[in-house]
Amino acid sequence: MAIDQNKLLERLMGLTRDLSTMVDLETYMQSVLSAATEMTDSETASVMEYDEATQELRFKYAAWFHREAIGSARIPLDESAAGWVFLHVKPLVIDDVRNDPRHYRKIDELANLTTRSLLGVPLTFHGRPVGVFEVFNKADGEHYTEEDIHILETLSALATLAMQNNVLEGTVLASQDEARELDRLKNEFIAITSHELRTPLGLILGHSTFLRELVGNEYQEQVDAIIRNATKLKDIIESLTRVDNYQTGGASLRSRKVSMARIIEDVSASFRNIAVQKGVALKAEIQRGEELLVDADGSKISIVLSNLVKNAITFTNHGGHVRIRGGLESGFVKVSVEDNGVGIPAKDLPRVFERFYQVESHLTRKHGGMGLGLSVAKVMIEMHGGRIWAESKEGAGSRFIFLLPVETKNNKPVAAQPFSV
């Protein structure tokens, strides 16, 4: 039967378009089987996939009236036409199966079908055979043609893409579920650990502070070391709790009109002695006469700025400088913390705000830290509907900038917009 080339092309184009919007694989594959029988003028069609466990082929998709009968059947590779197609990875036409021992007759018995002729082509993925596509019984006793082979090869390519896309989608969904479960377990572990550490750590700090007043100079250094390191642990636990509270929805804002200029001055003053001890010049630069008022939770913004300044001093060498700048910009208060320290490698810059992410192992060993300060800063700025980002050049220093809206609505984060810096 002559095939209308325009209708053929239109049918193939339709199946290709449907592939990109496919919702149900079974429905799509039945459309492909139907197209195969119509385009090659065959009685029926089926798709088999290779089972690596049994090293046999099994029916994956077949016409609905054969599906139940042959659903559990297995086709051996060395005793079937489909096996020959799979092993040789090339098409096979048998015009009269009565004269060809490669025809596996057991399927005819199961499906109550009399096979007269068949055409099979391999399903291949990345050059490797994964199954076989077959059509059976060309109408009116005609022979399968080269055009039929090309049609079935085209349909087999669409079928393979559909099946592989479905596998990949399943893998992605499973990975997402696994990632969500791991994240839940991680957050649960952090919450429990933080809670359990608070009480003993509070006792250590309380008793060691009491002992410092009683012991003589002989043990003063040891007691101070206990207090200093216990305080570090307390800071870590508080950072973990802040991030966890934000991610689990337990954080809240107590917003009021606060002066960003005053926060900058207070934070600068609190770190001045630390900067002097390290030989780093710390300077605050604020537009004269500007209060830089924002509707914000002042304590949380102080934590943000403190974390940024602490990082800047930590990663700036003796003789370097750290500058805190504040000003107004297009309805936002803009604050930046700039240093001329070691800088951040380009490959690490996109991830510096991730929880527990640490830049360069040698820097971590030298300066310590768990990679929490910046993640805390990020979540707190986003709670205020602001935005924070970093600019850096390795060996030349870093600049961390955050923007806070002068007026916030319902304390809900807003989408990040491009700003000049």
Say if pTM beats, i.e. exceeds, 0.85: no
Quick count: other Cβ atoms within 10 Å of Cβ 281?
Answer: 13
Which 3-state string (H, E, C) describes 72-104?
CCEECHHHCHHHHHHHHCCCEEECCHHHCCCCC
**Paired strand residues for 56:** 51
Note the pLDDT of residue 417.
35
Note the pLDDT of residue 248.
56
Residues 332 and 292 sit within 8 Å (Cβ to Cβ)? no
Between 46-60, 273-287, 395-409, the lowest mean confidence (pLDDT) is in 395-409
| pLDDT, tens only, 185-229 | 877 776 777 777 778 888 888 888 888 888 877 888 888 888 888
**Paired strand residues for 400:** 337, 390
Mean pLDDT of the chain: 84
pLDDT of 415 higher than 80: no
pLDDT of 97 higher than 50: yes
Residue 327 CA, distance from chain mean position? 36
Query: What 3-state class would DSSP assign to 75?
Result: strand
Q: How far apart are CA 33 and CA 400, in angstroms?
A: 59
Q: What is the mean pLDDT of residues 117-126?
A: 93
Q: How far apart are CA 244 and CA 356, in angstroms?
A: 13
